Structure 1
Amino acid sequence: MTEFWGIFYLVWTVLCYFMVKQLFVRTQKIYLSPIIIVPILSIALIFILQQQFQDYYHYTQYLVAMLGPITVAFAIPVFRYRNMIRQRFKVLIISSSLAMLVGIFSSWFFASLFNFDDIVKNSLLARSISIPFALVLTEKIGGSISLIPLFTVITGLVGMLLGDVLLSWMRFKNRIASGAALGNAAHAMGIARARQRHELEGVIASLSMIISGIMMVLFAPTVIILMKYLV
């Protein structure tokens, strides 16, 4: 029986992802994105079958483990758009650096304000980058692998919705600035929305997310240690 549920959950998750992805490609509605719909359907399935989330996570953790090696795939857009990186290097570095600092300090401030324990606090510090990078960073700073996907998805969803509204209201229109904002604030979800807005915004959002993730993994542990020492 245990093997049945393991195979069932794994097959369900994979098939559900591909079906929802096809729907999203056809409709181009951001609220139909797999990262939103698949978790909702999976949670509903668990409740209907009266199963435990811990069991679902246990049988599908292999999919989460794949996120580590998948980070290698981020080298592809970096190589493909290397000329654009050279042209927009200052903008990408400055925006990604500011995004990293704002993400770390805001998370640290609110986590301290509400007296969260160290595991939750450290997990929140990594929520501003995409899940593959966040998982790597979490291992370095002592966060929770279970909490990171939740915090990251919430950050991406809120950043995408509020960011899109804010950018639509602003009179200042700049494709590069808008793409960098969505990529840094909402990572994967921001990229999806940026691509719908304009091709250049999508490219800049992708590069911003990648550069921000790399910078967080490389420098965030040092910044966090300095913050703990100063505080």
Structure 2
Amino acid sequence: MITAWGAFYLLWTILCYFIAKKFFMRTQKIYFSPIIIVPIFSIALILIMHHQFQDYYHYTQYLVAMLGPITVAFAIPVFRYRKMIRQYFKVLILSSGMAMLVGIFSSWALATMFDFEEIVKNSLLARSISIPFALILTEKVGGSISLIPLFTVITGLVGMLFGDLILLWMRFKNRISYGTAFGNGAHAMGIARARQRHELEGVIASLSMIISGIIMVLFAPIIVAMIKIWF
């Protein structure tokens, strides 16, 4: 049941999103991206109101519930760009598969090195895919429904902010490679940055994110179980 605070926080989140989106579309500046502005404004409001994050999450759970239909909607671009998928099938599958393995093993190794708790370690495993896929993976790997979105957003934000510098440092110019890098490394935020750079990069990034998410959901639980047995 929506209370007065619930309605307020729900409208606040939606309003912040549209304002940030308007500024982002007008300026094309990364720091006006909704994924950055909305959390900052929301955290500031929670602190001012002396509320807890759990309260905000409870009031805005209706937005979180939309992630299920959004996950199903990912099938639309897959169908729309099926010709491009066939054309770059090997690149998309190989890059997405390698990104999954690197993401899982690097997260597990670093979490083990710093002796993180089991639930934190499990939550880090899904950080390199978009939130809808990550939430599906949560139950399968024993992660936290609160931590996985946080780690996912941080990963995407870092990839979006520093992706250009890394690709520039590599001195390898190929829009297909750039698109797969942004899609696999920074998921939704990487797609936003890739689209700013070039239309082809944006399309490839979108397909890479979807394919990596599907691969992660299907095979990550098996790989994680094997890692836990071996190590």
Structure 2 length as normaliser, TM-score? Answer: 0.97
Q: Deviations over 1:157-190 (max 9, x none)?
A: 1112222111123322000001100110000111
Aligned mates of 2:63, 2:11 — CA distance in 1? 11
Deviation at 1:28, TM superposition (A): 1.2
SS in structure 1 opposite 2:115? coil
Which residue pairs with 1:151 in the alignment? 151
Q: Deviations over 1:115-163 (max 9, x none)?
A: 1111111100011100000000011111000011110010001112222
Which residue pairs with 1:166 in the alignment? 166
Aligned pairs, number: 230
Query: What letter corresponds to residue 64 of structure 1 in structure 2?
Result: V
Q: Specify every segment of 5 or more residues in structure 2 that has no aligned partner in the other structure, as ranges.
A: none
Aligned mates of 1:81, 1:60 — CA distance in 2? 33
Aligned mates of 2:48, 2:230 — CA distance in 1? 50
Kindly report which structure 2 residues correspond to 1:201-212, keeping only aligned pairs within 5 A, or say none.
201-212=201-212
Q: Specify every segment of 5 or more residues in structure 1 that has no aligned partner in the other structure, as ranges.
A: none
Structure 1 window deviating more from structure 2 (162-171 vs 7-16): it is 162-171
Which residue pairs with 1:193 in the alignment? 193
Deviation at 1:111, TM superposition (A): 0.8
Deviation at 1:19, TM superposition (A): 1.6
Structure 1 window deviating more from structure 2 (12-21 vs 103-112): it is 12-21
8 Å contact kept, 1:192–1:202: yes
Query: What letter corresponds to residue 191 of structure 1 in structure 2?
Result: I
Structure 1 length as normaliser, TM-score? Answer: 0.97
Aligned mates of 1:8, 1:193 — CA distance in 2? 31
Deviation at 1:42, TM superposition (A): 0.4
Query: What letter corresponds to residue 66 of structure 1 in structure 2?
Result: M
Kindly report which structure 2 residues correspond to 1:33-112, keeping only aligned pairs within 5 A, or say none.
33-112=33-112
SS in structure 2 opposite 1:133? helix
SS in structure 2 opposite 1:172? coil
8 Å contact kept, 1:184–1:208: yes
Query: What letter corresponds to residue 190 of structure 1 in structure 2?
Result: G
Structure 1 window deviating more from structure 2 (217-226 vs 50-59): it is 50-59
Runs of 4+ in 1 over 4 A off after TM superposition: none
Which residue pairs with 1:26 in the alignment? 26
Which residue pairs with 1:227 in the alignment? 227
8 Å contact kept, 1:108–1:121: yes
Aligned mates of 1:120, 1:34 — CA distance in 2? 26
